Structure 1
C-alpha cells in the first residue's frame, strides 16, 4: 500500500491512536496536557507508568545534572555559517555527542536509560545554542540555571533571562502534546535503525533526519509563513479563496490518522488564545481562527497539531526556523521510548517490496546489444 498506510509494522505499548483518541500508555492526551508536566510524561513514556514524587524528583535532578554540553559542541556550532540549516546543525550535534558517551554500544536496559537521560537533557541546550551562536550571542551554560523544568530551561537558555511563568506553562504543555505519536515517519526510522543493533545516537540521528523533511516536521513553520504573508484578519478570506482557486496547498490541515480532527489542535487553539491575551496582541490568533473556519467551510478540512502550534511558538518568541527543532526536543522523549522498546525485544525490521518492474529478461552479450 502506498506510504505503508494502515500497515501494522510492529507491536508497541507506548502510544495508541484509536477512534480519534491519542493516548500515551493509556492516558488521553487531553488529560495529560491539563495535568501532567513534561517530566512526568517522559517518565511515563520510558517506564510505562506515572512517577511518584520521589521518582519524579530523581528524574528532574538527573536531567538537570546532565544538561551541560561538551565545550566542543559550541566549537562545532561556531564553524557553521549563521544562515546554515538549523535542523542540519541539530542532526550533526546529536551525532557528535556519540563521541562523548562511553556507553554507546551498551544496549542493556540500565545503559539505555542512562543514555536517554543524557540525550534528553542536552537537546534543549543544543537548540538554544544554535540560535544564540548564529545570532552572535554567547550560549548560556545550563549549569548556571537553577531549574528542574526542561520547558523553563529551554526558554531561559534561548533568551538569556528567566522566562515568565505563563510562557513556561505554555512551553511545558507544548512539550507534552508533541512528545509521542505512535509510529510516525521519524519514529519508524529510529526503530529501523536500532533494529540492526546500531546505537541509540544513530537511531536519534535517523529520526532527526526524517523529521527534517517538509512532509513531516516543518509544516508549522509553513503555517507561520502563511499567516505572516496574510498579515491581517481582513485579508484572510481573499488569501484562502486565492489559494483554493490556484489549487495551492494550505499547510496545517488534515491528517492521515485523524479524520474528525486532531485532539492536540484543540488544546493548542486554547493555548494560543491565552498567549495572545497575555501578549495583548491577538492578531495571530484571530487570523488563525478565521483561516481554520474558512478551510473547514470550503474544503472540509480540520487543523492538525502544526496549525496552532505555529501561533503558540510565535507568541513565545521562538524564531520561525526553530519550530521544528522545538518539536524535536519534545519528540526526543518518544523516540527514546521506542528505541528502548525496540532494544528490549529486538527483531530486525526488514519489510518486502512489491516488485512492479519489467518481467524476466534475456541476457545479451555486449556486442549484440
Structure 2
C-alpha cells in the first residue's frame, strides 16, 4: 500500500505535466517559461478551458463577471472579522453550483472580488466596485489597495496568477476531480479544492517565508540562523518540494517578477538583498547537510516577496494563490466530469475483527 499515493496514476489529463526530475512544467503544450512571458491570465484561462467550454472573449467576460458577483460582498459585512480564507469560503458557497461557463466565470471573478472586498472590510474600509474594462490582475490590485496599480505591478501579479494556474495532480486539484466525478457542480469542486489548499502542507508556506526573513533580519545573519534551524530539525520555509528534485521552475518565473518590481522601486532593495542572501545560504547549507536529498527553492519563496510587495497581507496569501489556481481546478473538474469515472479507490481494513459466535 502507498499511503501518499506517490507515483499512482489516478487520471489522464491534457492540462499540465510536471517533470520533477528535469524541473519542467508544461501547461497544455506550452512551457511555463513561454507562458509567463506571452500570456495574460485571461489568455491562460482560455488555454486551460479549450474543449471544455465554447470559445469566447474570456477577458471581457471575466470583467463582466466581476461586476456580477460584487453585490454578494454584502453578505460578508457582518463577518468581516473572519480570517480571509473563511470569509472567501463562505462567500463562494453563495454562487450557483452548476457546470456551465457562466458558473466558471463567476468562480474566477469571485476569488478576486471577494478577497479584495474582505481585506478592505477588515480594515474598516468600503469595498471598491470592479472595473470590467481592466485586466483581471489590475482590477484585483485596484480593488485591494484602492490605488490604480502601475503597469509593472499589474504585470507582476499577472505573472503570478499565470504561474500558479495549474500544477499536475496536487492535493487540491485531485479533490476537485473527485468531487466532479460525482457529477456535482463546479462550485462544489472549487470549494472542496479550496478546503484542501488551506492545509499548511499544501498552500500555507508563503506567509512563514516572510516570518523567516523577519527573524533573520540581516543578510549576515542568514547562514548562522539557517544552520541553527536545521540543527533543530526545522524545515526551511520556501525550500524543497514533493515532486521536484531540482529547482522549481515556478520559482524562477516569480523571481523574474520580483526583479521587475524591484526595478520600479516597488520592493525595498534591502528586503530583496536579504531574500537573496537567505536563498544563497540555504542552498549551500542544504547541499552540505543533506547531500542525498535534493532540496532547492520552491514557488513559495518568491511568492512571499511578490505578494508582500503588491500589498497583500500574509493571512490572504492562500486566497491570492486560489485566485490563480481556480481556473485549473475548474478545468480539471470539467475534464473529469466529461472523460472520467466516479473516483472510488479501495481501502484495506486493519481494524478489529468481530468475535465468532460461540
Would you say same fold, with TM above 0.5? yes
> In the alignment, what sits opposite 2:62?
63
Superposition pairs of residues 36-47 of structure 1, within 5 angstroms: 36-47=39-50
> In the alignment, what sits opposite 1:284?
271
> In the alignment, what sits opposite 1:139?
127
> In the alignment, what sits opposite 2:175?
189
> In the alignment, what sits opposite 1:101?
none
Unaligned runs of 5+ residues in structure 2 are 288-294
- Kindly provide the CA deviation profile for residues 150-201 of structure 1, in whole angstroms up to 9, marking residues without a partner as x: 0001001111121111100101000110111111100111111121111111
> Is the deviation greater in 314-323 or in 231-240?
231-240
Q: CA deviation at 1:364?
A: 6.8
The question of whether the paired residues in 2 share the 8 Å contact of 1:14 and 1:48 is answered with no
Q: 1:138 to 1:223 in 2, by over 3 A?
A: same
> In the alignment, what sits opposite 1:114?
102
- In the alignment, is residue 169 of structure 1 matched against residue 155 of structure 2? yes
Find the aligned partners of 1:238 and 1:186 in 2 and give their Cα distance.
Answer: 36
Which stretches of structure 1, 4 residues or more, deviate above 4 A after TM superposition?
A: 69-72
> In the alignment, what sits opposite 2:34?
31
Q: Could you say what the CA RMSD is over the residues aligned between the two structures, in angstroms?
A: 2.0
- In the alignment, is residue 347 of structure 1 matched against residue 341 of structure 2? yes
Find the aligned partners of 2:105 and 2:94 in 1 and give their Cα distance.
Answer: 17
> In the alignment, what sits opposite 1:78?
77
The question of whether the paired residues in 2 share the 8 Å contact of 1:95 and 1:205 is answered with yes
> In the alignment, what sits opposite 1:303?
297
Q: CA deviation at 1:276?
A: 2.6
Q: 1:47 to 1:245 in 2, by over 3 A?
A: same
Superposition pairs of residues 226-237 of structure 1, within 5 angstroms: 226-237=212-223
Q: CA deviation at 1:72?
A: 5.8
- 2:17 is paired with a residue whose SS is strand
Aligned with residue 88 of structure 1, among 83, 86, 89: 86
The question of whether the paired residues in 2 share the 8 Å contact of 1:271 and 1:312 is answered with yes
Size of the aligned set, in residue pairs, is: 346
Find the aligned partners of 2:95 and 2:216 in 1 and give their Cα distance.
Answer: 41
Find the aligned partners of 2:33 and 2:283 in 1 and give their Cα distance.
Answer: 22
Find the aligned partners of 2:71 and 2:61 in 1 and give their Cα distance.
Answer: 22
The question of whether the paired residues in 1 share the 8 Å contact of 2:222 and 2:278 is answered with yes
* TM-score normalised per structure 2: 0.91
Aligned with residue 25 of structure 2, among 14, 22, 33: 22
Q: 1:21 to 1:80 in 2, by over 3 A?
A: same
> In the alignment, what sits opposite 2:310?
316
Q: CA deviation at 1:277?
A: 3.5
Unaligned runs of 5+ residues in structure 1 are 99-103
Superposition pairs of residues 214-233 of structure 1, within 5 angstroms: 214-233=200-219
- 2:94 is paired with a residue whose SS is helix
Q: CA deviation at 1:213?
A: 0.5
> In the alignment, what sits opposite 1:362?
355
Q: 1:209 to 1:47 in 2, by over 3 A?
A: same
- 1:17 is paired with a residue whose SS is strand
Q: CA deviation at 1:81?
A: 4.8
Find the aligned partners of 1:188 and 1:229 in 2 and give their Cα distance.
Answer: 35
Q: CA deviation at 1:269?
A: 1.7
Q: CA deviation at 1:289?
A: 1.6
The question of whether the paired residues in 1 share the 8 Å contact of 2:70 and 2:113 is answered with no
Find the aligned partners of 1:282 and 1:59 in 2 and give their Cα distance.
Answer: 37
Q: CA deviation at 1:270?
A: 2.5
